[in-house]
Structure 1
Amino acid sequence: MSVFESTVTVNKPVAQVYAFLADMNNHRQLMPDNIEDWESTADVASFNIQNITKLSIKIEERVANTLVRIIPAEKPPFDMELKWELSEADGATQAAFTITAQLNMLMKMMASGPLQKLVDEETTNLAKLLS
């Protein structure tokens, strides 16, 4: 398993950050520019990663003010899980975003950079949006 992580502090109450992340419609604002054809509901999002693949993901688990776990809604190119873990830190929110992916050696070489960039960009965008 390959693990890609990024953590950020958001100067908002944990309930507000959780409410934002618990709705897949809001996740478009966190994505990088190479995401196209975004379609979403509160639970599911489908999109194209420019020149790479089409993905459909869904929220599998919500734990109020603590966790949003996202998994593929359709068979992806590789097994993966996306997880937002939240905790309160002095009136602000500590948000940790993790992507866990089952990558073979070739996929790991090709996808590690983009996946790490994705987790970094999503946490940075979350902090900017909710500041």
Structure 2
Amino acid sequence: MTLESPKAILDKSAEDTFNFLSDVKNFKSLMPENISKFEVLGEDKFLFALKGMPEIVLKKKEMTPNSKIVLGAAGGKIDFALIGNIKEIEANKTEVQLTFEGEFNAMMAMMIKKPISKFIETLAANMPEAINTTA
């Protein structure tokens, strides 16, 4: 299953955007309002939970400077990746699109498609304000 967020346009360079997304503690500012827990577990790993959902641990798996960051499930029963694709449009203007990829059976995919879609849409929607206030 592959889900994509709408593209977020940021008034930052690709390097600034990459640096922001490389710091896992910054993901707290991207989280939806219904977050019930957020905890940094190390330089490359964080845990979060949304109300009514199990805790999820994400870990940095792959990084391509200024263009791509891949966060993956760190343990748990479900293997998936959250990919941030960063594309510089012009100086100090960058486009970011989040992609969720995971292998799920049909029943599981049906259950999680809507909440995951909403989750990555919220992360992308919160990005312009979050990066401008922290960077």
Q: TM-score, normalised by structure 2?
A: 0.88
Deviation at 1:104, TM superposition (A): 1.4
**Is there any run of 5+ residues in structure 1 with no aligned partner, and where?**
none
* 4+ residue segments displaced more than 4 Å: none
Q: How many residues align?
A: 129
Maintained 8 Å contact 1:49/1:55: no
1:5 partner amino acid: E
Deviation at 1:62, TM superposition (A): 1.4
2:4 partner amino acid: E
Hey, what does 1:56 align to over in structure 2? 57
Deviation at 1:55, TM superposition (A): 1.1
**1:105 is aligned to 2:106:** yes
**Is there any run of 5+ residues in structure 2 with no aligned partner, and where?**
none
Deviation at 1:109, TM superposition (A): 1.6
SS at match of 1:96: strand
Hey, what does 1:47 align to over in structure 2? 48
Aligned 1:64-79 pairs, distance under 5 A:
64-76=65-77, 78-79=78-79
Deviation at 1:36, TM superposition (A): 2.0
What is the CA–CA distance in structure 2 between the aligned matches of 1:17 and 1:63, rounded to whole Å? 12
